[in-house]
Amino acid sequence: MPLTLQNKRALVTGGSRGIGAAIVKRLAREGAHVALTFVSKPEQANEMVKAAHALGVKAIAIKADSADPAAVIGAVERTVAEFGGIDILVNSAGVLSIAPIDKFSLKDFDRTLAVNVRAVFVATQAAVKHMKEGARIINIGSCNAERMPFAGGAVYAMSKAALVGLVKGLARDLGPRGITVNNVQPGPIDTEMNPANSDFAEMLRKQFMALPRYGTTDEIAAMVAYLAGPESGFVTGASLTIDGGFNA
């Protein structure tokens, strides 16, 4: 089968584990050269690079904390320097802090906005300087942008809701240049941070899910691959929810 992303050049922030790692592998499988960022655990990042190399593409790991704007810009510039340009930006890095409003620290508030919102803007601003017609920007949002059914998640929900407005505006900015920008909004996904075999997961399945299971990281990666590929050229400014009916 043809490789839909052959020789495209991608940067996936937060690409060493969880949803980000699945995205790296899927883009590489479709033929894209992939750079990924990580904050800690370089061994995981290096394993992802090896996995991408095994699929016959170029890959690099870049240590960059998304809370640091200079590090985010540096990751984009390193990607461009290594691959000769950038065609796909996937803003996957994110943080989650849960606490009642009267106990939510300002430090956690600031970091949530720095990673989940500001870093997306900074990476996008840096990347579009090098992007040409047909380029793709894809953010990993959350179904919680539209529904937060339990206490303690107000700040997280706000940060993901901000991406909805951001992509609507960016679609207008970048549409004349032929660059699309979209959100993917996962629901409960089986990851190290949110395992499907926990008591919390069991509660979600029973009370909130239309499909009584967690999603997989590969299912999210498939949606990202679609948005990164040629068949999605008329999709922009959208927030596409893949949540097993959590928001239904």
Domain of 80: which CATH number?
3.40.50.720
Structure tokens at 187: 């629901």
Question: What's the one-letter identity of residue 158?
Answer: M
- Give dist(CA 168, CA 159) in Å, integer: 15
pLDDT band at residue 1 using 50, 70 and 90 as cut-offs: low
pLDDT of residue 96: 96
Enter the DSSP assignment of 215.
B
Is 30 part of a structural domain of the chain? Answer: yes
Is 117 part of a structural domain of the chain? Answer: yes
Is 35 part of a structural domain of the chain? Answer: yes
Given the structure tokens 């999210």, which residue do they identify? 220
Domain extent for 135: 9-233
Is 104 part of a structural domain of the chain? Answer: yes
Dihedral sign for Cα atoms in the order 152, 39, 142, 157? positive
Strand partners, 223: none
Please, what is the angle between helix 154-174 and helix 106-113, to 10°?
20
Using alpha carbons only, give the angle 213, 216, 220 rounded to the nearest 5 degrees: 120
pLDDT-above-70 percentage for the chain = 100
Q: What is the pLDDT of residues 84-113, one digit of tens each?
A: 999 999 999 999 999 999 999 999 999 999
Is 149 part of a structural domain of the chain? Answer: yes
Instruction: Indicate which residues carry an active-site annotation.
Output: 156
Pairing of strands 239-242, 180-186: parallel
Q: Helix, strand, or coil here: 95?
A: coil
Q: What is the pLDDT of residues 110-165, one digit of tens each?
A: 999 999 999 999 999 999 999 999 999 999 999 999 999 999 999 999 999 999 99
- Give dist(CA 12, CA 90) in Å, integer: 5
Nearest to 129 by CA among 70, 77, 61: 77
What global pTM score does this model have? 0.97
The pLDDT of residue 2 is above 80 = no
- Give dist(CA 9, CA 32) in Å, integer: 6
Report CA-CA distances (Å) from 176 to 94, 133, 236.
29, 9, 12
- Give dist(CA 11, CA 22) in Å, integer: 13
Is 1 part of a structural domain of the chain? Answer: no
Is 241 part of a structural domain of the chain? Answer: no
Is 248 part of a structural domain of the chain? Answer: no
Dihedral sign for Cα atoms in the order 232, 235, 237, 239? negative
Number of domains in the chain: 1
